[in-house]
Each structure stands twice: as C-alpha cells, then as structure tokens.
Structure 1
Amino acid sequence: MPPEKRIPKAPVTRKPGVKKTVTRKPAANKKKKSVLSIQLKLFLVGVLLVLLSPLYYGYVLRSFVGTWRWIKDWGQDPNYRTYESFNIKIPKKYTIHGIDVSYYQGKINWQKVKEMKEDDVNISFAFIKATEGLLLVDPYFQRNWREAPKAGIICGAYHFLRPKKDGKTQAKFFLQVVNIEKGDLPPVVDIETLDGVSPLKMRAELSDFLNYVELKTKVRPIIYTGLKFYKDYLTDFFDDYPLWIAHYYQPKLRLDNSRWKFWQHSDKAKINGIGHVVDFNAFNGDSTALSKILVH
C-alpha cells in the first residue's frame, strides 16, 4: 500500500505576548547619602557652637537692649532721646552740657571726661563742690579745681548752705577755700533743705551768703535748688539771681525759660574717667551766652 499521505497542519499563529515593562528603582546612592549626612552633622555642630558662644549671647543681649530702648523711646518726645555712651536720656534742644561732682565721684580722670563724646554731646563745664556749712571742705575739691581746667573744662565752685548756721560766716569760709578767677563760672550756693528752721530764717541766711560773696567777688552768685524746693520756698524771692534747677528724668524743665541758666536733668550719667554715676546738666543758651556769664 502506498504510504499514507500526510497533510501538513496549518501553522498556529500566536499573538505575541505583551511584555510588562518593569520599572526598576535606581539603586540608592549610598555615597551621596553619606556626604549629606556628614554635612548635616557639621551644620548642627556649627549651630550648637554659635549658641554656646559668649559672643552670640553678647550680640543677642545688645540687640535686646537696643530694641527695648527703641520701644521705650517710641512715641515719646523726639527731642529727648537715650544716648548710649552716657546711659541716660538727654534733651536735644541744648548744645552745651556739663556735670557736677563732689567727693562721691572719687578720683577723676578729667582728660577722659573731656574726650568723651557721642553725636553732638560732650562735657563743656563742671560745677565742683568746695565747702559745706562752717567747717567741711570737700576732700577732692583742690584736685578737681586744679585738674579740670587743665583738661579744658570750664569750672565753677559751689557751697552747700546749712540754714542753721550763719550765712555770712559760711560765705567767708567758702571764699577762704575757693580762689575765683577770670574765666570761671560764677560761684554757686546750694540750698535744698530747711535743716529744721523756718523758711524765713533759711531765706535770711541765704541772703547774707549771697550778699557777702557778691560784695567780695563782684560776681553775682548762682542759686542751686530743686524745682519743688524753689516753688515751695523761693518763688518771688531772689529774682535777680541766676538759677540752677534740679528736675530729673523729664524732657522739659517746668519753669519759665527766662528764669534759669542751668538745668540738672539727671543724676545717673555714666562718664568716662569717673567711677560713679554723675549729675548731668544743660546750659540754657549757646556758647556766646555762656561766655557772657563767666567771671571777667
């Protein structure tokens, strides 16, 4: 028999399978991660060192103090601002500034006082305590009276009056200690207490002191007192005498501008060359007006 004829089978057509694309995540760059980790650690260490640094805290403190002073001064009189160097507020209206000193300030480096300046404020004059009552001489008077003019500071001497004691005798005592010369500020009598006597008695002794000093020096003395004491006991008396008034921490002296020459507006100034806080004063006028009241 002839071999069976095989009919070939039709080829099976297969649909090509759709391969699923697998997206592989790139392997982590361990080296890069390691570098970032080191940089982060270094940054944190740097921040920690800054926070622990005294300089940082000094900067923060200065910033805080400056901000606080700005807040404190905000909304107040722009002509009454804080001067950092002197550590007080100073009225800007006045151009001539000075201090007054006694034994309380100790030994003073007057050259440093003269050299101190912030913006337009510097020390031009000083009132120096000389005597008190009938017997007390300020232990630093002679040194201050000698050294302050050497530094170029205009000086005036003052006596602290004790109303219980004879005014004329106190004046004699004052002039025995103080040698008033050309170019000095007028002599000053400091009256700020009744010492247990009546206002009438106080004014009588004050008058005797003023009359004797003016008679001997040919210079009209200045009366120093506090604003309250002046209003309580001296208003309408001694109107021919120049006034030096104490009235603290205010942008303006509450007294007729024509009545006073000097204003002691703070008792807390810090001055280079002086180890304790100091009274700070303004003169009511310009340099020409100041020269006119000096001893000629």
Structure 2
Amino acid sequence: MPTKRTKIPEKNPIVKQTRKKSSVKKKTRKVWPLALKLVLAGITLVLLSPFYYGYVLKTGTSTWQWIKDIGQDSNYPNYYDFDIRIPKKYSIHGIDVSYAQGKIDWQKVKSMKEGDVSITFAFIKATEGLLTVDPYFKRNWREAPKAGIVCGAYHYFRPKKSGKQQARFFLQTVNVENGDLPVVVDVETLDGKDPATMRKELHDFIVHIEAKTHVKPIIYSGLSFYQDYLQGYFDDHILWIAHYYKKELKTRNTNNWQFWQHSDIAKVNGINHAVDFNAFKGDLAAFQKLIIKSDDLNR
C-alpha cells in the first residue's frame, strides 16, 4: 500500500501538463480577429434574411454578388418597406392584383410611401376564359378608385377558347368608364394550341374590345413569350411586359412597351400577400393621356 501511494504524486505533473495544454487552446480561440467575427455575423444575417430568400434564391444571384450590390447601385436601390429593389428612373408606380391577394385595404395601399415611390395605378383581374370571374373583382373595382387609385381591368386569355366570346364575357363583367386605364388582355400561355391559332383568337378578342370601347387594349405578356410568339404581329398596341429583378428592361426590337412588371414579391401595406410591382415608362402627362376619356367611349 505505501508503495502505491508513492506513485500517485508522480502522475500529477502529467495531469498538469494536460490541463496546461488545454488552457493554451482556449487562449488561441480568444484571439480571433474582431473583423472576422463581424463578417461571419453579417453573412449569417444575410442567409436568414427574408429578402435573401425572396430575391437571391429566386433569381440565381450569388450570395457574394448580392452582398456587394447592396446599396451600391443608385439606379436600382433597395426600398425596405416594399421589400424589393425598384428601378430608379421611373416616377409612376403601380400594382396588379387578383383573388391571390385576398381582401385589400385600398386606403392603406394609397397612403403607403417610401422615398419617392407610391402607388398611382392598379390593374385588377376581372375574368379568365369563358366562365371565371375573379371573386374579388367587384370589390377591388369599387374600392380602389375610392382611394384615389387609377384602375384598369384585365382578362386572362385562354387561346383554346373563342377570342370573341371571351371578349363578350369580359364586357359583361366590366363596365369600362371615363377615368379607367385601357382594358388589358393577359397572354402568357399557348394552352396546347399552335402560335398561329393563339394569335388568331387574340386578334378576335382585341377587335371586339376595340369595337365596343373605342380604345385599343393593352397586351400583357412575359418578355420571352412575347418575343417568341407575339412580336411583329401586334406592334401597334401598347405593351405591358413582365421581366423580373432587373435594373432595366432590355428588349430586342421592342420599343412600344409602356408598363413593366419588374417584381412579383413586393410587400404593400393593406395587402397580406406578396404582390406584383410595376413601373410606367413615361411621365405624368404621358400617363394621363392613356386614361380613358368620355370622348373616347362616345366615338
């Protein structure tokens, strides 16, 4: 027994050496540069940001590129209340809505403003095909103008249905009046039809609407769909082009666009869901020229 006890003190230096080595490691961890910690914290915040998931992942932009771009491009700044970037050179902005946005408080929509951006106009879905009326159309069509927003109604076009019958259905639902924006026909699918058939039915829709309202409809489409199937056929009509998350709309031989849907993830007061955001190409005088007058309807 005494001999075993005499060996115990001999192990103590080894224990002390182990503890000393452990304390050295702890000291090493404490000397990380503060700047590195801040960078890691910043990256963590970016990865957790809703804007990151709404913009970076959706557009395919690299995280590093997004970090570098933030706040650096004065022509494409962040508007944090709207939670999107908005091209800077446009002065007139608007939204488009359907049942997907639910019940909207239009007074809150109209009163929202951040910097030089507020909402002037809204395109409201009315009908689709031959049978579907948007369940929120009547309410939106009534309440938005009360709040001081200039409105236009749109029809989601189905190429597999008669264009003329779709136009009649639309006009049974929408009473186009003085102070409205022109009717919009939303064309973004072939519906299994060939391009020539789609264009024929679209032409019939347009002709009937123009005959009844005396105003040419606006054509809405995605940039690629328009360039693939519509360009060169309806060039005398005003275009409303969808092309997302860019600081400018670059089109190939397409100069007749007036409205640009540049985002589909905006946050707007009074709306509980993400909403499309649009810019008008011209100034206030040009915008007012588009608004339907009594003389137009009575020609």
TM-score by length of 2: 0.75
Compute the displacement of 1:164 (Å): 0.3
2:140 aligned with 1:144: yes
* Cα distance in 2 between the residues matched to 1:269 and 1:112: 15
Instruction: Give yes or no for contact 1:105–1:277 (8 Å, CA) kept in 2.
Output: yes
Q: Distance in 2 between matches of 1:215 and 1:233?
A: 24
State how far apart, in whole Å, the 2-side matches of 1:155 and 1:163 are: 25
Based on CA coordinates, which of the two structures has the bigger radius of gyration? 1
Q: How does 1:110-189 map to 2 (within 5 A)?
A: 110-189=106-185
How many pairs were matched up? 236
The alpha carbon displacement at 1:235 in A equals 1.2
Q: Is the 8 A contact 2:101 2:275 kept in 1?
A: yes
Contact preservation (8 Å) 2:94, 2:119: yes
Matches of 2:157 and 2:81 in 1, distance apart? Answer: 33
Query: Shift of residue 259 of structure 1?
Result: 1.4
Partner deviation per Cα, 1:173-198 (whole Å, 9 max, x = no partner): 00000011111000000000000000
Q: 1:225 aligns to what? A: 221
- Counterpart of 1:7 in structure 2 is none
Provide the rounded CA distance (Å) in 2 between the counterparts of 1:259 and 1:89: 24
What code does the residue aligned with 2:123 have? Answer: F
User: Is the 2:182–2:292 contact (alpha carbons within 8 Å) kept by the matching residues of 1?
Assistant: yes
CA distance in 1, matches of 2:90, 2:235: 23
Deviations 1:80-131 (A, max 9, x none): 1110000000000100000000000000000000000000000000000000
Match for residue 259 of structure 1 among 246, 250, 256: 256
For residue 275 of structure 2, what is the aligned residue in structure 1? 278
Whether 2:266 is the aligned partner of 1:269: answer yes
Secondary structure in 1 matching 2:262? strand
Runs in 1 of length 4+ with deviation above 3 angstroms?
A: 68-72, 74-77
Partner of 1:287: 284
% identical aligned pairs? 66
TM-score by length of 1: 0.76
Q: 1 CA distance for matches of 2:265 and 2:146? A: 25
CA contact (8 A) 1:224 1:245 kept: yes
1:71 CA drift (Å): 3.4
Q: Distance in 2 between matches of 1:191 and 1:95?
A: 26
Name the residue aligned to 2:192.
196
Structure 2 counterpart of 1:78, from 74, 79, 103: 74
1:134 deviation in Å? 0.2
Q: Deviations over 1:194-245 (max 9, x none)?
A: 0000000000000000000000000110000000000100111111100000
Residue identity opposite 1:146 in structure 2: R
SS at match of 2:86: strand
Whole-angstrom CA distance in 2 between matches of 1:73 and 1:142: 42
Change (3 A) 1:257 1:235: closer
Q: What amino acid sits opposite 1:208 in the alignment?
A: D
List runs of 5+ in structure 2 lacking aligned partners.
Answer: 1-43, 52-62, 294-299
Query: Please, which of 84, 87, 94 is the counterpart of residue 90 of structure 2?
Result: 94
- CA-CA distance at 1:73 after TM superposition: 2.4
8 Å Cα contact 1:73-1:81 kept in structure 2: no
Structure with a larger share of its residues in helix:
2
